[in-house]
Structure 1
Amino acid sequence: MDAYYGQSHILRDLSMHVEEGEVCALLGRNGAGKTTTLRSIAGARPPDVREGTVSFKGRNVTDRSTEDISSLGISLVPEERRVFPNLSVEENLHLSDVARNWSNTVGRDVSMDHPGMSTEEVYEVFPRLEERASQKAGTLSGGEQQMLAIARALKQDTDLLMLDEPYEGLAPQIIQTVENAIERIAETGTTILLVEQNAVAAMNIADRAYVVDQGSIVFAGGSEELRGDEEIRERYLGV
Structure 2
Amino acid sequence: MSLLTVEHVEAYYGESHILRDLSMEVDEGEICALLGRNGAGKTTTLRSIAGARPPEVQSGSITFRGDDITAEPTEDISIRGIGLVPEERRVFSNLTVEENLHLSEVSRNSSNTVGREVPDLPDVRPLSELYNAFPRLDERQNQKAGTLSGGEQQMLAIARALRQAPDLLMLDEPYEGLAPQIIDDVEDAIARINDEGTTILLVEQNAAAAINIADKCYIIDQGGIVFEGGAEELREDEETRERYLGV
TM-score of Structure 1 vs Structure 2, range by shorter chain? over 0.9
2:140 maps to which residue? 132
Q: Which amino acid aligns with 2:41?
A: G
- Residue deviations 1:57-111, cap 9 Å, x none? 10111111111111111000000211111100011011122234446x9797447
2: CA distance, partners of 1:165 / 1:66: 20
Preserved CA contact (<8 Å) 2:76 2:118:
no
Tell me, in whole angstroms, the C-alpha distance in 2 between the residues paired with 1:120 and 1:98. Answer: 18
Q: What SS class does the counterpart of residue 23 from structure 2 fall into? A: coil
- Paired position in structure 2 for 1:19: 27
Match of 2:53 among 42, 45, 54: 45
Whether 1:120 and 2:128 are equivalent positions in the alignment is yes
Taking the TM superposition and a 5 Å limit, the aligned residue runs for 1:1-239 are 1-102=9-110, 109-110=118-119, 115-239=123-247
TM-score between both structures, scaled by the size of structure 1:
0.95
Is residue 11–residue 216 contact of structure 1 (8 Å, CA) maintained in 2? yes
The 2-side partners of 1:190 and 1:110 are apart by: 18
CA offset at residue 43 of structure 1? 0.2
In the alignment of these two chains, the number of paired residues is 238
TM-score normalised over the length of structure 2: 0.92
**What's the offset of the Cα at 1:176?**
0.6
Kindly, what percent of the aligned residue pairs are identical? 72
Contact in 2 for aligned 1:122/1:151 (Cα 8 Å):
yes
Secondary structure of the 1:186 match is: helix
Judged with a 3 Å threshold, the aligned counterparts in structure 2 of structure 1 residues 108 and 149 are, in CA distance, closer, same or farther, namely farther
Distance 1:186 1:205 in 2: 10
In the TM superposition, what whole-angstrom CA distance separates every residue of 1:33-74 from its partner, at most 9, and x where no partner exists?
Answer: 000000000000000000101111101111111111111110
- The alpha-carbon distance between structure 1 residues 67 and 109, as it changes in their structure 2 partners (threshold 3 A), is closer
